[in-house]
Structure 1
């Protein structure tokens, strides 16, 4: 089986991309999702977060939610808002935000390659979230949230995608509520598709940037369906996962910052003294945005501080240990604040850099949190080094921006049918 192959996408029909496009299901709260669907009957949140159409106290993991997702997807198809392409193709996908723009390719990636670690992960998944995506995929017989994949930049593939994008006008283009422009256009020409498949097959590896739960859930669904299908060939649609690929040089990672609810029984003065044993600490006149690895900002008791970890404390030969998220955890959050497992400890929370440093200070000023930390963003090279070493990054190490939109392309398991 090829690493990546074309597929017949379910897409918004002409003029409806703006009605459908929605943020990824997992970057907004239930309350935010409910607000975002007001007066938007065709928002894809009715599929990806179908609890918005059920009572506010509904369990988001209840069977009724997945049944409603299926109902809403079918409703959008019957109304002619979504339609399946009659033939398979690749799709060019461009995201633009401010001065940043990246153009990649939508296809379906081999789950056999994921099982053999040619598609590499760098995070653990949470069972409950993975189970949720399994039930969603099975309810819809489709994958509706793409996995974000990166590949090490290859001029021949990068140039090919750039040429194809330059030669045609996007078939749909929409600007979402966060100000990001999403443009999509198909590649149905057989020669162009063959050239793309050949170039993609030459890639030694792909890296999951975002979507570990979607990929793991897709693999579970494939395994279950293979076991239930005596005539399984390995080529069925469920053996592939909906993906968007970008060159690693185009990807943009923002900081993923931390806020902690209390000082673990310490007063402010003692807390600062404990920190100063390990870090160089100086006061700052305003918000601190770290400018290099090993440097951190801290907001505490109405003041900003700059923390710098001496180089001799950084294990440069350890791809996980040298990450800034690891350095802060290993030298401060764990030993001083007593949070040993940030994946499960409810005293810590995480704030994506897209929300700005002001959001960190606000969480402290309201009294919700006691201290906030700003971090230098993880580099793509660092992510790939961890994945290549077969290691796992700490939770909430990367915040990719801009985010892919949900609803612009979906991957159906059933054969394309004639939609209205």
Structure 2
């Protein structure tokens, strides 16, 4: 039984929403970030990075306090408005990756602790504590946890009825995405949504494992100090509507192997087909692409029936177990500087280009995991290898701000 609650938020005025909202801070290159900060005074990036010119010269605590101050400035000058009435928000994103629609509200920290909200990724404690400290200092969050749920036909129809009404926002972005937001404050509709999710036995975190862990840690910190927030900002979307991309791997060297020895080792566990200049990307599970010495290869795993657990059957785990670790001597997927990752939403030519430039020796392309795999993994308390999945949609920062 899941608890999902309406929340009171701050948000941009309708006349400025397209100027205020932005991509996630990490999605900007240095040049893009500088351009936004130099030429768009309304961008929420000014809140997220208020001291970008000298950010390396100040400590984290001071930076977080500057974020809080800039956020207060945005509210004081009317760029952001307070919407104190608790509500759900229906949010639709239309992008080149598809159309995504879900509900924004507050999920329960207790559901996260008890396992009603399931996880499939591990977290790094220093990142959890860092974001907890950020939340503590700034007192707001605009990065919801992306959570998958099972959607019935009747509930889908209910959301379509809501989306036929007048939205509070409809705007486009420089990425040519269209964003639409509806406020759901009518008591009977709010109650229907709460009752629907109260019948859900499990919810699944897609993206935001560190954010949910930080919310849990923050509530524990506040338990003996002040009234704790038992909710964390969440974006719930039907599981069939989430787009899952793979993370592809690029490796700097062959760990001392010759070209011939490397291919010979690969052939022990994979059927290898040289595709030459053909841009090859795997089209099914247990198939892998490889770009090496200006040629693409198809790698087909020889023994899938020998794999027993859902963890062993993951393509990312197969690549690690039979290639990255034993052949290329990469044991730490998070911290080994010889490996980097490219999300599958980027063109296959990106891998070709970075390897042809000479900094990397070989690249591997994976077939994306399914939501069924992710749910089964979470249900059995298994953890995916690092950088296994990249999820769409991505939420616009500054669109909805939940104050703690």
Q: Same fold (TM over 0.5)?
A: yes
Partner of 1:12: 12
Tell me the TM-score normalised to structure 1 length. 0.91
Which SS does the other structure have where 1:173 is aligned? strand
Which of 352, 360, 363 is 2:354 aligned to?
Answer: 363
1:250 aligns with 2:233: no
- How far apart in 1 are the matches of 2:91 and 2:389? 22
* Stretch of structure 1 that moved more, 137-146 or 173-182: 173-182
Partner of 1:407: 398
Native 8 Å contact 2:131 2:214 kept in 1: yes
Which of 291, 303, 306 is 2:295 aligned to?
Answer: 303
Partner of 1:286: 278
- How far apart in 1 are the matches of 2:118 and 2:234? 13
Partner deviation per Cα, 1:257-284 (whole Å, 9 max, x = no partner): 1111111111222111111111111111
Partner of 2:111: 113
Higher strand content, 1 or 2: 2
Partner deviation per Cα, 1:296-350 (whole Å, 9 max, x = no partner): 11111111111110244651x4121111111111111111111112022111111
Distance 1:68 1:119, change over 3 A: same
Partner deviation per Cα, 1:6-62 (whole Å, 9 max, x = no partner): 01111111111111111123444566533443312222222234452x415346x62
5+ residue gaps, structure 2, are none
- How far apart in 2 are the matches of 1:122 and 1:35? 37
Deviation at 1:2, TM superposition (A): 6.4
Which SS does the other structure have where 1:179 is aligned? coil
- How far apart in 2 are the matches of 1:2 and 1:249? 19
Native 8 Å contact 1:91 1:105 kept in 2: yes
- How far apart in 1 are the matches of 2:71 and 2:306? 50
Distance 1:313 1:263, change over 3 A: farther
- How far apart in 1 are the matches of 2:261 and 2:312? 27
Deviation at 1:119, TM superposition (A): 0.7
- How far apart in 1 are the matches of 2:175 and 2:346? 11
Native 8 Å contact 1:96 1:182 kept in 2: yes
- How far apart in 1 are the matches of 2:382 and 2:73? 43
Native 8 Å contact 2:51 2:63 kept in 1: yes
Equivalent positions of 1:39-50 (< 5 A) are: 39-50=39-50
Distance 1:132 1:36, change over 3 A: farther
- How far apart in 2 are the matches of 1:121 and 1:80? 38
1:91 aligns with 2:89: yes
Native 8 Å contact 2:88 2:104 kept in 1: yes
- CA RMSD in angstroms comes to 1.9
Deviation at 1:175, TM superposition (A): 2.5
Tell me the TM-score normalised to structure 2 length. 0.95
- How far apart in 2 are the matches of 1:129 and 1:26? 15
- How far apart in 2 are the matches of 1:121 and 1:47? 30
Equivalent positions of 1:309-348 (< 5 A) are: 309-312=301-304, 315=307, 317-348=308-339
- How far apart in 2 are the matches of 1:44 and 1:351? 26
* Stretch of structure 1 that moved more, 40-49 or 274-283: 40-49
**Aligned residue pair count:** 403
* Stretch of structure 1 that moved more, 354-363 or 173-182: 173-182
Native 8 Å contact 2:61 2:137 kept in 1: no
Distance 1:58 1:383, change over 3 A: farther
- How far apart in 2 are the matches of 1:49 and 1:213? 20
